[in-house]
Structure 1
Amino acid sequence: MRVLRNLSNDRLGMAALIVIAMTLTAGICAPWLAPHDPLAVNMRLRYAGPSWAHWLGNDHLGRCLLSRLLYGIRPSVLWVMLALFVSVAIGAVVGFAAGYLRGRIDAALMRICDVMLAFPGYVMTLAIVGMLGPGLDNILIAFAAMKWPWFARIIRTSVMQYSDMDYVKFARLSGSGPLRVMRMHLLPMTFADVAVLSSTALGSMILQVSGLSFLGLGIQAPHAEWGMMLNEASEVMFSRPELMLAPGVAVVVVVSAFNFLADALQTALDPKLLTSRQRLRRRKVEAVAYEYTRG
């Protein structure tokens, strides 16, 4: 409740949360919100401009851009969130085991993470997609395989930090088992760090999926995806630049919303940052009032 109250005081964070909620709702309800079949070809409407029937116009095959934009939320955002969830789950298991048990288990698990993190993430994603073949499923598998060591490292650091707290030591002495201590005491404390990092990572993953689809390595035609829509519109980029506007703006708005939400969550979860931001805001108001009284 305290986090929600602090987050509600951040207008930019609340605006970002509203944009994300509306985007996810539109993606889930795309079959009911889309005015037309996103795969329906109508060459009579090829490159048609916006109209009452097609608010964003039509592409090179006469397909409704608005319908394709709505259906594109699923591979561009929803399935990326699923891959992120898998990465966080694997990273949490490894991070909790390494940070709480320590010793040889910690050393072995962290050496595995070091080996995985030694490879450039984007290059390894391209390598995995190259071996498995183009497709959204293979991109998500690559993301899950390359992202979990990063989350494991972060979660391990948080677990080691909080496991030395007095109340955690008291829980151990009182007879609570490792699983109960992790679930009741360590998981709520590490949730804040994971939430902030997940919001930031999600924006980066959306950009990568769109970029790979733009290069032809992601979801394949005729399915709708924002990066593929940019690829298809790039052929007429100079004669019909408006075709790139809708998917491009969608990517920028959604990624920016996740980045703003990550910043707002970090402030809401850390009272010190919240206090410093309130002080800065108060000083700005006092400075404006002082200048006004002088004028």
Structure 2
Amino acid sequence: MNKAELFKELLENRNAALGMVLILLICLVAVFGPWLAPASPIAVAPLDRLQGPSMAHLFGTDSLGRDILSRVIYGARISIMIGVISVAISLVPGTLLGLVAGYFGGKADGVIMRLMDVLLAFPAILLAIFITAILGPSLINTMIAVGIVYIPHYARIVRSSVLSLKEQLYVQAIGHLGGSHTRILLGHLLPNSFPPIIVYATLGMGTAVLQAAALGFLGLGAQPPQPEWGAMLSEGRKFIQLAPHVAAFPGAAILILVLGFNLFGDGLRDVLDPSLRSQ
């Protein structure tokens, strides 16, 4: 399937199309944030604190009088960055470990997969909290923690694909003809493992945004005055009865972005999986 056919099938898939629209919407907001935001996201106005939505402040203001719409817009940049970087931190080492474990097997497979099993034994959010607590609360450390937590997932997916692919006749023929391990791994096994990796990476971006928001909610993520959606939710819960809009709008932003990634990932899986596509 070439790129044109893939894009056409994605547009015809309702989940993928809706997911692309939601992701594109958030990305456009992130890119054009400085021009869309009506005010500075960190400008404090104590006299305007906890105002409800109005023409002056479409999303209202928070406890320090900051414009919530501006903070949500600038927070889109942080959330997109978290999703991309966290997935990259997971994907690269996880893919390499899965390739080595699946192809060479034996002791290498045993050591790598037992290490992955140890990481998988911990609940994801607890492991992320533990890593962030060691490294210190910050946006960068949050991305590192979320990335490390999901390395085993990519390793297991790639290993599973490689175990199946390396039994194919063409792979064995390349080995018998003198093909190097590097050529087989990077030239044949890795490219043919891309479909499940791409699907999981797309879904993983939504998970990474949620995990980072949870850490931000606990005060371990982006630090004030950075406009991060999870931290905004944490602040908003203090005023949930007095000013529910403070938590509602960043919560809605998280919902839209995560829903977009999940829908697009589901649609991408339907398109790339031959069995589902035939159905």
Structure 2 spans left out of the alignment, 5+ residues: none
Alignment partners' CA distance in 1, 2:107 and 2:199 = 30
1:21-78 CA-to-partner distances (Å, cap 9, x unmatched) read 2212322332333222101112232223334443222222221111100111233231
Q: Which amino acid letter does the alignment assign opposite residue 164 of structure 2? A: Q
Equivalent in the alignment of 1:33 = 36
Given that 2:60 and 2:245 are in contact with CA atoms closer than 8 Å, whether structure 1 keeps it comes out as no
Q: Which residue of 1 aligns with 2:108?
A: 105
Within the candidate set 2, 6, 11, 2:9 is matched to: 6
Q: Which residue of 2 aligns with 1:246?
A: 249
Instruction: Return the alpha-carbon distance in structure 1 between the equivalents of residues 127 and 52 of structure 2.
Output: 41
Partner of 1:73: 76
Please say which of residues 15-24 and 51-60 is displaced more in the overlay: 51-60
The equivalent of 1:209 in structure 2 is 212
Are 1:167 and 2:170 counterparts? yes
Equivalent in the alignment of 2:86: 83
Listed one character per residue, the Cα deviations across residues 73-101 of structure 1 (whole Å, up to 9, x for unaligned) are: 23323123201111100101111111122
Which deviations, in whole Å up to 9, do the C-alpha atoms of 1:120-163 show, x marking residues without a partner?
32222222222233222222222222211221111111111111
- Higher RCO (CA < 8 A, seq sep 6+): 2
Partner letter of residue 28 of structure 1?
V
Residue 131 of structure 2: aligned partner: 128
Runs of 5+ in structure 1 lacking a partner? 277-295
CA distance in 2, matches of 1:200, 1:79: 14
For 1:121 and 1:113, the matched residues in 2 are separated by: 13
TM, length-normalised to structure 1: 0.87
Q: Which moved more, 1:103-112 or 1:173-182?
A: 173-182
- Secondary structure at the counterpart of residue 42 of structure 2: coil
Identify the residue that residue 117 of structure 1 maps to in structure 2: 120
Residues 79, 209 of structure 2: 8 Å contact kept: yes
d(CA) in 2 for partners of 1:7, 1:170: 35
Does the aligned pair in 1 maintain the 2:216–2:230 contact within 8 Å? yes
Residue 61 of structure 1 pairs with residue 64 of structure 2: yes
Offset of residue 257 of structure 1: 1.3
Q: What percentage of residue pairs aligned between the two structures are identical? A: 36
Aligned residue pairs, count: 276
Q: Distance in 2 between matches of 1:81 and 1:226?
A: 16
Deviation of 1:252 after TM superposition, in Å, equals 1.1
- Is contact 2:82–2:208 with CA below 8 Å preserved after alignment? no
Structure ID, larger Rg: 1
Paired residues for 1:121-160 under 5 Å: 121-160=124-163
TM-score, L = length of structure 2: 0.91
The question of 1:15 aligning with 2:18 is answered yes
CA contact (8 A) 2:14 2:267 kept: no
Q: Name the counterpart of 2:191.
A: 188
Worse overlay, 130-139 or 45-54: 45-54
